[in-house]
Structure 1
Amino acid sequence: MRVVVGMSVTDVDRRQELLGWAGELEASLAFLQMGGPSLSAELTRLADAGAATITLAGVSLGPLAPGHSWLRRIAAHWWRERAGDRPTIEVATALATTRDELSVVLAETRPITGTEPGLTSPAWEHVSGHVRQVLICRGPRCTAKGSEETARAVILGAMEAGLGDDDLLITHTGCQFPCNQAPVLSVQPDDVWYGHVEAAAARVIVRDHLDGGRPVEAYRLPR
């Protein structure tokens, strides 16, 4: 059995497209984050159905996707926790970013051994020391209005401005409301909400607010 695994929030937004990719390979589809079925749920379904070998291929189409190692981490955690018979799990050694790459990465796999790193680390014990958290809405309306490009502009703008983990924590969220103002993003702890944040507006917000400390009134929503 094969499973195509969407790694990023963008992959969840492109569910129908990825279902087509998976169908061409006679594979099922699962997601690592913010989408269902989760990878763990799909592994359980296939194992309960008697699958002896499951091959995973990760797909990464958007910003803020976790690295390839997380596909192995999550699969290994499930394998260690699985009660009773456990299938062999093979994981492609690279992520695919296009449909054509998906067939290529499936040609080279490596089995889960159970010795992979777990889901905890001393580095993840405490809240990060960021000054501001940027919450980018990825609900259905904001996604339809282009919040994928909003997120990309925020990330690239922050990188160009030299803003690091001590400055910003950039987070995708579900619906934040007010949906009529999509795409929406908010900045905390400043308690500032922005609406109609297309890519060009996002770069202004990064420059003037996230880097300069001055809220951008042109896109600011009343509270």
Structure 2
Amino acid sequence: MNDDVTAPVVLVGMSVREVQARNLLHEVAHEHRATVAFLQMGDPSVSSELTRLADLGAERVVLVGVSLGSLAPAASWLRRIAGHWLRQRPGRRPVVEVATRLANEPAQVLEVLRLLRPVTGTEAGLESAAWEDVPGHRHQVLVCRGPRCTALGSDRTAEAVILELMRLGQTDDDVLITHTGCQFPCNHAPVVSVQPDDVWYGDVDPDAARQITAEHLVGGRPVESVRLPRSRRTGR
């Protein structure tokens, strides 16, 4: 750990990709005498780890966001969550500092530890008028992040869909990407389903993901070569 940082340090996985790479994150944390938390879809959460450290008597806590790919939100989200925690924390509260830049690889942790900014509690809240309504998207893409799909590369599948949508000028108001738990046809991992079309795809590697994005999500034509048969139970 940087000699200038004597407070507890928490490495925060910012996306689902870091949840998958939790073993690596724990190895890096061990090198820096730090702990690990996750911004989304992983335990412990940032809030629960802050509470644990505060209850142990920590007077200062340093949060370093870690992003090992292109799926993570900006570091400002880490400040927003920490600010919300400070406002909700009863009694004694430690000073919380957040690195202003994400560490994009393990070797960058020491570098970003020099870029700290205190959380004041006046950061933007967790609600916004922009998040009031269900988006007007025409498709919702459910990318399975269950254990088999994750092991077989569904993080790369999700990344390929997102980057292709960006290349084609599509936003969340056009196509909404959602990471899910197991969607069940695990033998066909990675699995992706598209709603409300009720179309399911299997063995969706990055190339197939880009084809599905261009031809189905934008062009409106399902890709039959990777489409899974869908059976419905009609009654008992």
Normalised by the length of structure 2, the TM-score is: 0.92
RMSD (Å) for aligned C-alpha atoms: 0.9
For residue 141 of structure 1, the aligned residue among 142, 148, 151 is: 148
> Structure 2: how far apart are the matches of 1:106 and 1:85?
25
For residue 15 of structure 2, the aligned residue among 8, 19, 23 is: 8
Equivalent residue for 1:131?
138
Pair 1:177-2:184 in alignment? yes
Q: 1:39 is aligned with what amino acid?
A: V
Residue 6 of structure 1 deviates from its aligned partner by 0.5
> Structure 2: how far apart are the matches of 1:47 and 1:166?
40
> Structure 2: how far apart are the matches of 1:209 and 1:84?
53
For residue 71 of structure 1, the aligned residue among 65, 78, 81 is: 78
Residue 200 of structure 1 deviates from its aligned partner by 1.0
Q: 2:141 is aligned with what amino acid?
A: V
Equivalent residue for 2:31?
24
Residue 162 of structure 1 deviates from its aligned partner by 2.0
SS of aligned partner of 2:117: strand
- What is the CA deviation profile of residues 4-54 of structure 1, one whole-angstrom value per residue up to 9, with x for unaligned ones? 000000000000000011111100000000000000110111111111110
Please give the residue correspondences for 1:17-166 in structure 2 after superposition, counting only pairs within 5 Å: 17-166=24-173
Q: Is the 8 A contact 1:7 1:66 kept in 2?
A: yes
- Structure 1, unpaired ranges of 5+: none
- What is the CA deviation profile of residues 62-105 of structure 1, one whole-angstrom value per residue up to 9, with x for unaligned ones? 33311111100101111110111111111111111011111100
Please give the residue correspondences for 1:201-220 in structure 2 after superposition, counting only pairs within 5 Å: 201-220=208-227
Q: 1:127 is aligned with what amino acid?
A: V
SS of aligned partner of 1:16: helix
For residue 221 of structure 1, the aligned residue among 206, 222, 228 is: 228
- What is the CA deviation profile of residues 134-181 of structure 1, one whole-angstrom value per residue up to 9, with x for unaligned ones? 111111100111111111111111122222222100111111111111
Q: Is the 8 A contact 1:63 1:151 kept in 2?
A: no
> Structure 1: how far apart are the matches of 2:102 and 2:168?
28
SS of aligned partner of 2:225: coil
> Structure 2: how far apart are the matches of 1:61 and 1:187?
27
> Structure 1: how far apart are the matches of 2:144 and 2:78?
25
> Structure 2: how far apart are the matches of 1:99 and 1:38?
20
> Structure 2: how far apart are the matches of 1:61 and 1:127?
30
Q: Point out the more displaced range, 22-31 or 162-171.
A: 162-171
Identity, in percent, stands at 64
> Structure 2: how far apart are the matches of 1:172 and 1:90?
29
> Structure 2: how far apart are the matches of 1:8 and 1:61?
9
> Structure 1: how far apart are the matches of 2:71 and 2:196?
22
SS of aligned partner of 1:4: strand
Equivalent residue for 2:174?
167
Normalised by the length of structure 1, the TM-score is: 0.97
Aligned length: 223
- Structure 2, unpaired ranges of 5+: 1-7, 231-236
> Structure 1: how far apart are the matches of 2:144 and 2:167?
22
